[in-house]
Amino acid sequence: MSGTTLDDYTDRYAARIGGMAQSEIRALFAVASRPEIVSLAGGNPYTAALPLPELADMFARLIRDQGTEALLYCPGQGSTRLREQICEVMADSGIDSTSGASPDDVVVTVGAQQGLDLLARVFCDPGDIVLAEGPTYVGALGVFSAAQATVVHVEMDADGLIPEALEAAIVASPRPPKLLYTVPTYQNPTGVTLSAPRRAEVLDICARHGVLVIEDDPYGMLGFEGDPPRPLRADTGDGVFYLGTFSKIFAAGLRVGWVLAPPAVRDKLVMASEAQILCPSALTQAAVTEYLATMPWRQQVKAFQVLYRERRDALLESLADYMPQDMTWTRPGGGLFVWADLPPGIHSKKMLPAALTQRVAYVPGTGFYANGDGGGQMRLNFSFPSADRIREGVRRLAGVVTTTAELRDTFAR
Amino acid sequence: MSGTTLDDYTDRYAARIGGMAQSEIRALFAVASRPEIVSLAGGNPYTAALPLPELADMFARLIRDQGTEALLYCPGQGSTRLREQICEVMADSGIDSTSGASPDDVVVTVGAQQGLDLLARVFCDPGDIVLAEGPTYVGALGVFSAAQATVVHVEMDADGLIPEALEAAIVASPRPPKLLYTVPTYQNPTGVTLSAPRRAEVLDICARHGVLVIEDDPYGMLGFEGDPPRPLRADTGDGVFYLGTFSKIFAAGLRVGWVLAPPAVRDKLVMASEAQILCPSALTQAAVTEYLATMPWRQQVKAFQVLYRERRDALLESLADYMPQDMTWTRPGGGLFVWADLPPGIHSKKMLPAALTQRVAYVPGTGFYANGDGGGQMRLNFSFPSADRIREGVRRLAGVVTTTAELRDTFAR
């Protein structure tokens, strides 16, 4: 980006702009995408595994046969056919008609990100309190910051959100929290999954205290050690809004996601979405419809699972092989990420320049907290780089960690 | 939409939800799209005029050659190549490097609608005053309502916004208006174009009073009686934010538009966009890039101009042939719409059920005002229906107007 740094508009901006800051992750991506750098920083699914020649034919057919419609505006709620198919996809993980899910209650969005932003628009006034895992998805921090809501983190462990910590956070809150935002399955950034017994507890606590739940589930179908627990939404339609996306099970570049919400809320989401984008792309929706209807999409999800499992194993094995003894990390059963605790006294954000110099990138843990925590942690991605690149990246990173630990010890003397 | 009408969440919604109401236009579209109805209500470009076989080949090539990238996430600001091409497109209408336009200052958005919403997010606090033509684009009313800003309409005539009325509205405003939202060329809904001398006056008035200008220009390339005056942005980079879109010159179903804004504002727009949608679709951006680079897009724009001119003529001629003497209408030199004044005492919204019964649809003028005005007007579209359908639609509509006028006279006696 070029241009003057003078800002002639400083006295004109809306108040909400004050809290907005560029995501550390996005700023990092520009550097991390250089070819000489092994990037464990990304969050990209591995699109090269998609059957491109077949998809090319599919798109050609779509434009030839349905182009007149696919190149036009469509209803703000999204196409009827796609909303039906979304219900079929959700039924695979247990959210079906017995859970009260219906195509009428689905709103198609520009990725799950827009779904989350719409929920924040509909529910969050400035000053509202939103609970979220600590750490949480960086994009959720952006949404709630733009809504001028305050994010309060709730502690988690290897089984996800700690119910006692959740209840304590609600009780200690200066005003009743309005929402819990949670990624219960193969969470970004930790890879951790909320256990089945805790799911019931979390739902119970939120219901008792009148806290609405946003369940963000982009990774639920990407498990590689058996099925994850049922989504929260599968067992209650009451006060749980469910976010889904085709970004990880098909293609992120289409920007097709959805919200499942009860009728009154759904109407407001549709109005808010029309004000925001008029309607989602008819073309990318039609592409998802064709893909689900004519191609072996479940088989493709299995292929992603096999691939990511192999890469996760490469990451876990090389961490064990190369990293110092006093470092620990999560062991995800699915998803795209591992979360690592650095040896004491090492700050992940301060260490990043050294890592980039050694041609390896990660995301410092601070990006996933609203309150500056996370300096002792980092997020490592295993979905995009090959197993060999992952091993090489961890080898380089271990060198940086070891050197940084030696420097720490030198200056501590 | 089905489901209960009970709303369990009424005490939870954000304050901004109070002002949101379903657009009359969108509710109308569901009815108006029935095949037996001649819809003069829409705003769809005529995508059937696009070369679908060639586009099918283009999409196939795109997926085959660039699929891995086009199906991934992309930068929040949009693709570099597309932003360069957008500058070439803008240069055609006079916004070029001498106007200070640069690819660095372009933010790609989900249609111009998202661009407008982002500007409102960045600039509008609740209670802010936004000036707009009366009538104005319905989607702008939705954006500013969601931002809890108050829209104040400024009178226009056959040469667009009336400068004296603009200055009077600014002076009379209880607090300084923050923004002027304007569609200066082939406006939606009136088809009216702001004259060149008035453009200079409007810029001067806004600069003197510190009112920022949002110039929305979706139709500027769709003139069929010579070139329109230069965009406002062509002659000043100071305080004018420019919105463009490929919806009318290529395909609305791709949802690719843009904002051109100075660097400080652009950075905030990018952050706001990342919070809202993460990034625009890499695929639809790549499709626009391929289309501009490999297909005769300017020739296609000419084809749209010829087609729409023919259809506008059909509309104007049939209005003259069929409508009562005391009805008047605009004579647009481009764009998609004619704005008609009904005979005195006829209310366009109240007349709509009778029109639908006679199998013709239009949009009542009330949809284009924030203050309930527009009951004496209607918007008629000429881009989508064929010339024959337009004539038939106007014939039906004239019958309804005549009958309604007779009823009015009967009850007035």
Contacts of A117 in chain B (CB under 8 A): 275-277
- Using a CB-CB cut-off of 8 Å, the residues of chain B touching A272 are 17, 20, 146
Distances (CA, A) of A408 to A157, A344, A346, A411, B147: 28, 10, 8, 5, 50
The three-class DSSP label of residue A245 is strand
Contact at CB, B55 and A63, closer than 8 angstroms: yes
Distance CA B281, CA A113 (A): 13
Whether B124 contacts chain A with CB within 8 A: yes
Identify the closest residue of chain B to A23 by CA–CA distance. Answer: B271
Measure CA A18 to chain center. 24
Residue positions counted in chain B = 413
Chain B positions touching A275 (Cβ under 8 A) are: 20, 117, 139, 142-143, 145-146
Q: Does B277 touch chain A (CB under 8 A)?
A: yes
Share of chain A above pLDDT 90, in %: 89
Tally C-beta pairs within 8 A across A and B. 304
**What span, in angstroms and rounded, lies between the C-alpha atoms of B397 and A70?**
30
Summarize pLDDT for B205-230 with one digit per residue, the tens: 999 999 999 999 999 999 999 899 99
Decide if A102 and B2 are in contact by the 8 Å CB cutoff: yes
What pLDDT, on the 0 to 100 scale, is given for residue B1?
40
What is the band of A23 on the pLDDT scale with cuts at 50, 70, 90?
A: low
Residues of A in contact with B114 (CB under 8 A): 276-277
What tens digit of pLDDT does each residue of B149-208 get? 999 999 999 999 999 999 999 999 999 999 999 999 999 999 999 999 999 999 999 999
With CB atoms and an 8 Å threshold, state whether B275 touches A142: yes
The confidence band for A194, taking pLDDT boundaries of 50, 70 and 90, is very high
Under 8 Å between Cβ of B354 and B206: no
Residue A326 CA, distance from chain mean position: 28
| CA-based nearest distance A369→chain B, Å | 15
Q: Of A56, A59, A46, give the one whose Cα is nearest residue A303.
A: A46
- pLDDT value of position A126: 95
- Residue B413: pLDDT band with limits 50, 70, 90: low
Comparing CA positions, the residue from A287, A333, A235, A387 lying closest to residue A50 is A287
d(CA A214, CA B15): 19
Quick one: tokens of B88? 């070439």
Chain A residues 45-64 with CB within 8 Å of chain B? 45, 47-48, 50, 52-53, 55-57, 59-64
Least confident range of A10-14, A154-158, B176-180, B331-335:
A10-14
Q: Where are the alpha helices (DSSP H) in A124-177?
A: 138-146, 163-172
In terms of DSSP bridges, do strands A179-182 and A212-216 run parallel, antiparallel, or are they unpaired?
parallel
* Tens-place pLDDT, residues A132-152: 999 999 999 999 999 999 999
Does the pLDDT value for residue A4 go beyond 50?
no
- Per CATH, B15-50+299-412 and B69-294 having the same topology is answered no
Sign of CA dihedral B203, B206, B209, B210: negative
Amino acid at B104: D
| Residue in chain A lying closest to B288 (CA) | A71
Strand partners, A364: A378
Query: What pLDDT, on the 0 to 100 scale, is given for residue A388?
Result: 98
Contact A60 B64 (CB under 8 A): no
Sheet architecture: strand order including A212-216: A106-109, A257-260, A240-245, A212-216, A179-182, A129-134, A150-157, A160-161
Pairing of the two strands A179-182 and A160-161: unpaired
Q: Note the pLDDT of residue B409.
A: 86
Q: Quick one: CA dihedral A223, A227, A228, A230, positive or negative? A: positive
Measured between alpha carbons, how far apart are the two ends of chain A, in Å?
A: 44
Which of A 169-228 lie inside 8 A of B, CB atoms?
178, 212
pLDDT band at A26 (very low <50, low <70, confident <90, very high): low
Torsion of CA B363, B369, B372, B374, to 10 degrees: -50
CB contact under 8 A, A71 and B142: no
* A111 contacts B73 by C-beta, under 8 angstroms: no
Q: Which of A196-205, A230-239, B11-20, B121-130 has the lowest mean pLDDT?
A: B11-20
Task: Out of 3.90.1150.10, 3.20.20.60, 2.40.240.10, 3.40.1390.20, select the CATH number for domain B15-50+299-412.
Answer: 3.90.1150.10
The amino acid present at B246, given as its one-letter code, is: F
Give rounded-to-5 percent helix, strand, coil for chain B. 50, 15, 35
Percent over 70 (pLDDT), chain B: 97
Rounded to the nearest 10 degrees, what angle do helices A138-146 and B263-277 cross at? 120
Q: Which of residues 22-41 of A touch B (CB under 8 A)?
A: 22-23, 26, 29-30
Give the pLDDT score at B411.
79
In this prediction, residue A411 carries a pLDDT of 79
pLDDT of B218 reads 98
Chain B CB within 8 Å of residue A168 CB: no
On the question of pLDDT at A72 being above 50, the answer is yes
Give the model's confidence band at A271: pLDDT under 50 very low, under 70 low, under 90 confident, else very high.
very high
Whether A403 and chain B come into contact, CB under 8 Å, resolves to no
Residue A1's pLDDT band (boundaries 50, 70, 90)? very low
Q: What are the beta bridge partners of residue B377?
A: B341
What's the pLDDT at B6? 64
Write the burial class of residue B236 (CB in 10 Å: 0-12 exposed, 13-18 middle, 19+ buried).
middle
Which tokens go with B340?
Answer: 């008609």
Q: How far is CA B144 from the centre of its chain?
A: 14
Please give the average per-residue pLDDT across A324-333, as a whole number. Answer: 97
A114 in Cβ contact with A276 (< 8 Å): yes
Q: In what order do the strands lie in the sheet with B363-364?
A: B328-329, B337-341, B377-381, B363-364
Q: How far is Cα B110 from Cα A279, in angstroms, rounded to an integer?
A: 9
- Calculate mean pLDDT across residues A169-185: 97
Q: Sign of the CA dihedral A143, A374, A312, A37?
A: positive
Interchain proximity A17–B45, CB inside 8 Å: no
* Separation of alpha carbons B290 and B273, rounded Å: 24
Q: Is pLDDT above 70 for B20?
A: yes
**Is the pLDDT at A2 greater than 80, yes or no?**
no
Strands B38-39 and B360-361: parallel
Instruction: Tell whether the model's pLDDT for residue B333 goes beyond 50.
Output: yes
Buried b (16+ CB within 10 A) or exposed e, A305-341: bebbbebbebbbebbeebbeeebebbebbbbbbbbbb
Q: What is the pLDDT of residue A166?
A: 98
Which has the closest alpha carbon to A265: B5, B240, B395?
B5
Type and span of the H or E element at B42: none
Sign, Cα dihedral of B74, A330, A89, A201: negative
CA-to-CA separations, B358 to B316, B321, B340, in angstroms, rounded: 20, 19, 19
How far are the Cα atoms of A131, B320, B358, B362 from residue B328, in angstroms, in the given order?
58, 9, 22, 16
> CB B110 to CB A251 under 8 A?
no
Residue A35 has pLDDT above 80, yes or no: yes
Cβ contact (<8 Å) for A282 and B2? no
- For the record, the structure tokens of B50 come out as 């696009």
User: Residue A327 has what pLDDT?
Assistant: 96
Name which CATH class applies to A15-44+299-412: alpha beta
CATH topology of domain A62-294: Aspartate Aminotransferase; domain 2 (3.40.640)
Task: Give the CATH fold of the B69-294 domain.
Answer: Aspartate Aminotransferase; domain 2 (3.40.640)
Mean pLDDT of A257-278: 96
Closest residue of chain B to A48, computed from CA coordinates:
B68
Q: Left, alpha or beta for B373 (phi > 0: left; psi -120 to 50: alpha)? A: beta
CA-based nearest residue in chain A for residue B7: A264
Query: What's the confidence (pLDDT) of residue A7?
Result: 79
Looking at residue B374, what is its pLDDT? 97
Rg, chain B, Cα only: 22
Judged by CB atoms closer than 8 Å, whether chains meet at B14 and A263 is answered as no
> Other C-beta atoms within 10 Å of A163: how many?
19
Q: Which two tokens stand for residue A234?
A: 């599968």
According to the model, what pLDDT value does residue A34 have?
87
Residues 6+ apart with CB under 8 A from B253: A69, A70, A71, A72, A73, A74, A281, A282, A283, B47
- Give the residue, A32 or B315, on which the prediction is more confident: B315
The mean-pLDDT minimum among A25-39, B156-170, B398-412 falls in: A25-39
Domain extents in chain A = 15-44+299-412, 62-294
Contact A17 B61 (CB under 8 A): no
- pLDDT score at A29: 74
Average pLDDT over residues B27-50: 88
Rounded Cα distance, B237 and B255, in Å: 26
DSSP string, B197-246: HHHHHHHHHHHHHT-EEEEE-SSTT-BSSSPPPPPHHHH--SSEEEEEES
State how far the Cα of B22 lies from the Cα of B294, in Å rounded to an integer: 40
Beta-carbon separation of B274 and A67 below 8 A: no
CA angle (A81 as vertex; A92, B58 as ends), nearest 5: 105
As a whole number, the mean pLDDT across chain B is 94
B108–chain A nearest CA distance, Å: 13
For A179, name the nearest residue in chain B, comparing CA atoms only.
B12
| Mean predicted lDDT score pLDDT of chain A | 94
Cβ-Cβ contacts under 8 Å, A71 against chain B: 47, 50, 251-254
Residue A3 pLDDT > 60: no
How sure is the predictor about B109, in pLDDT bands with cuts at 50, 70 and 90? very high
Could you tell me the pLDDT band of residue B3, with boundaries at 50, 70 and 90? very low
Does residue B135 have a pLDDT over 80?
yes
Q: What would the pLDDT profile of A332-385 be if each residue is shown by its tens digit? A: 999 999 999 999 999 999 999 999 999 999 999 999 999 999 999 999 999 999
- pLDDT at site A133: 98
Residue A253 is nearest to which of B12, B21, B281, comparing CB atoms? Answer: B281
